[in-house]
Structure 1
Amino acid sequence: MKIKKISCNFKIKQKILKNILYEDQHLIILNKPYGFSVHGGSGIQSGIIEIFRTIRTDIKFLELIHRLDKDTSGILLLAKKRSTLKNLHQQLREKKIKKYYISVLHGMLKKQKIIIDLPILKTYRKKKFNIVTIHKNGKPSKTIFLIKKIFSNCTLVIIKPITGRTHQIRIHAAQSGHPVLYDPKYGNSILDSKIKFYKKKRLLLHAYKITFLHPETNKNICIYAPLDKIFKKNLSFFSKKENF
């Protein structure tokens, strides 16, 4: 499948800059729009990091602190100093950085809190996309799902990943029997087709909150990223029983 390239035109630059949530001399926190890869490669000409480097030439050092899937929106951290990158990578290893996601899953969850603790294995294949699956030989992976609101045929949840494996939330959601709505890779297209949706649809997974210690001051930082219009419109549709 041919992947659409992201050209760094004026509108894209403005959209990215508009979505900066926080910036100081150490880091940039962005509310990444869905549909944008965080870096180039595998058919993608320019990702978020390349776009930032073209529009913020005043920054000598700029690197991704972590990653988000192309179709997942929300909080993304970028380091403006190597010392910042090292510090926050250390916090990630020590699980001092807490990430929270919001998503809509198929079906009605029976428990207020669901914990999925299943190993995830990432297999590398030449000239093909990496394959990520639940496998006994995989790395320990744990995700907590909390019910926020139950609709007629799906559930709005808050998700707290304890580990940070590739596609972890999407795989664990699917394994639980409640895949993320409109997930083209791990979802359920049959269930998706039964739902009447807003005229525009997208993977309904958003990184909405993050907490960490500032690399310079060591003070607690808590950042929230608002949902985009398409996510909100879908939620308003799901709240009406006649849409199922």
Structure 2
Amino acid sequence: MSVPAVRHLTVDAESAHQRLDNFLLRELKGVPKPLIYRIIRSGEVRVNKARARADTRLHPGDDVRLPPVRVPQRSPEAAPAVPARTFPVLYEDEVLLAVDKPAGVAVHGGSGVAFGVIEQLRRAHPQAPLLELVHRLDRETSGVLLIAKKRSALKALQDQFRQRSTGKTYLALVRGVWPAGRKVIDVPLHKYLLPDGERRVRVTDARDPQGQRSISLVRVLGTVQPPPDAPPDAPPMSLLAVTIKTGRTHQIRVHLAHCGHPIAGDDKYGDFEWNRWLSRSGLRRMFLHAWRLSIRHPVRGEELSLQAPLPPELAQWGEVQRFL
């Protein structure tokens, strides 16, 4: 282990415009994520001598003070081998790569995950000078995932996400019949950590200083009846297209559960008894899929519409494909 000491890091052009937490996760590889967030919340991390939040955006020349933190020194033999892996390509050019992420794969390593999509892609493309995640998807969610191949493209795309100028639509199968008149969910969310460091999100109200405004637009695509082998009291289900205007952690999952219509297979915010029946009937993952994403091309400026087909394990369940 390295000897802990106060460190000062200067933000260079390549690291500019990142969130503080993402910057530290890269600089403090091997340090547990809960510890990183704890030292930020406690004020031990300073940016230009001032306290900063996890979502503080860094600028070239910023001075980031780090408290004494032990960074594990791992020998090459001890480091887990990252397998090279490619994923179905939805779009690719000289600055941008869009892939179809499968469910069950994290987008990056950390929090008990040795590696994710981005590490496997870097291993599969060792000649690429840069591959960086533009945004994130939950481990359990499949669908469109953007990777930047140039720093300028990364910044331009992240600006679009921050300014809410992208169009992000997900497919979700939920319990019950969604009310036709419920088209907008505008409910603030509060993010917190469990004692073990795992992230959770709950609904809050406008009086909560930690609450973040969160907006989801809901469109019903169809009603799915339970399979023939379902118990007599099994509820019907609704296939929804949910467009998010804000990109909060677990936003769709928490919003839909809050409305009384949890997502099928959601093991964090769902109906656990219902999930057990769904698993026995063949649905063994969460039914949430990043279906469509619209962006402006970071170089050419034209509208770019990306779509990831519904994976077979979802498309074949309940004959939902007929609604798409």
Report if TM-score (shorter chain) is over 0.5: yes
Maintained 8 Å contact 2:183/2:217: yes
Deviation at 1:151, TM superposition (A): 1.7
Deviation at 1:99, TM superposition (A): 0.5
- AA aligned to 1:162 is K
Q: Tell me, in whole angstroms, the C-alpha distance in 1 between the residues paired with 2:177 and 2:194.
A: 36
Q: Tell me, in whole angstroms, the C-alpha distance in 2 between the residues paired with 1:112 and 1:9.
A: 48
Q: Normalization by structure 1: what TM-score?
A: 0.87
Matched, 1:183 2:254: no
For the structure 1 residues 197 and 47, does the alpha-carbon distance in structure 2 shift closer, same or farther, using more than 3 Å as the test? Answer: same
Uncovered stretches (5+) of structure 1, i.e. residues with no partner: 1-5, 240-244
- AA aligned to 1:84 is A
2:213 alignment counterpart? 140
1:71 alignment counterpart? 140
1:242 alignment counterpart? none
Aligned CA RMSD, in angstroms, stands at 2.1
Moved runs in structure 1, 4+ residues, more than 6 A?
none
Higher RCO, 1 vs 2 (CA within 8 Å, ≥6 residues apart): 1
* Match 1:163 to one of 234, 241, 246: 246
* Match 1:174 to one of 240, 249, 257: 257
2:318 alignment counterpart? 235
Q: Normalization by structure 2: what TM-score?
A: 0.67
Q: Tell me, in whole angstroms, the C-alpha distance in 2 between the residues paired with 1:21 and 1:215.
A: 17
Q: What fraction of aligned residue pairs are identical, expressed as a percent?
A: 34
Maintained 8 Å contact 2:293/2:305: yes
1:112-151 alignment to 2 at 5 Å? Answer: 113-124=182-193, 127-136=196-205, 137=208, 138-151=211-224
Matched, 1:92 2:158: no
Q: Say which is worse superposed, 131-140 or 28-37, in terms of deviation.
A: 131-140
Q: Tell me, in whole angstroms, the C-alpha distance in 2 between the residues paired with 1:139 and 1:125.
A: 19
For the structure 1 residues 45 and 194, does the alpha-carbon distance in structure 2 shift closer, same or farther, using more than 3 Å as the test? Answer: closer
Q: Tell me, in whole angstroms, the C-alpha distance in 2 between the residues paired with 1:126 and 1:192.
A: 25
For the structure 1 residues 98 and 7, does the alpha-carbon distance in structure 2 shift closer, same or farther, using more than 3 Å as the test? Answer: farther
Q: Tell me, in whole angstroms, the C-alpha distance in 2 between the residues paired with 1:119 and 1:42.
A: 26
* Match 2:289 to one of 197, 206, 209: 206
Maintained 8 Å contact 2:219/2:241: yes
Q: Tell me, in whole angstroms, the C-alpha distance in 2 between the residues paired with 1:115 and 1:234.
A: 27
Maintained 8 Å contact 1:114/1:144: yes
1:3 alignment counterpart? none
- AA aligned to 1:97 is T
Maintained 8 Å contact 1:119/1:139: yes
Q: Tell me, in whole angstroms, the C-alpha distance in 1 between the residues paired with 2:280 and 2:304.
A: 36
Maintained 8 Å contact 1:173/1:180: yes
Deviation at 1:132, TM superposition (A): 1.4
For the structure 1 residues 237 and 142, does the alpha-carbon distance in structure 2 shift closer, same or farther, using more than 3 Å as the test? Answer: closer
Larger Rg: 2
1:213-241 superposed Cα distances (whole Å, 9 cap, x missing partner): 101110110011011110112132899xx
- AA aligned to 1:154 is M
Q: Tell me, in whole angstroms, the C-alpha distance in 2 between the residues paired with 1:126 and 1:65.
A: 29
1:135-194 superposed Cα distances (whole Å, 9 cap, x missing partner): 222100011111000122100110001110000000001000000000000000122344
Aligned-partner SS, 1:29? strand
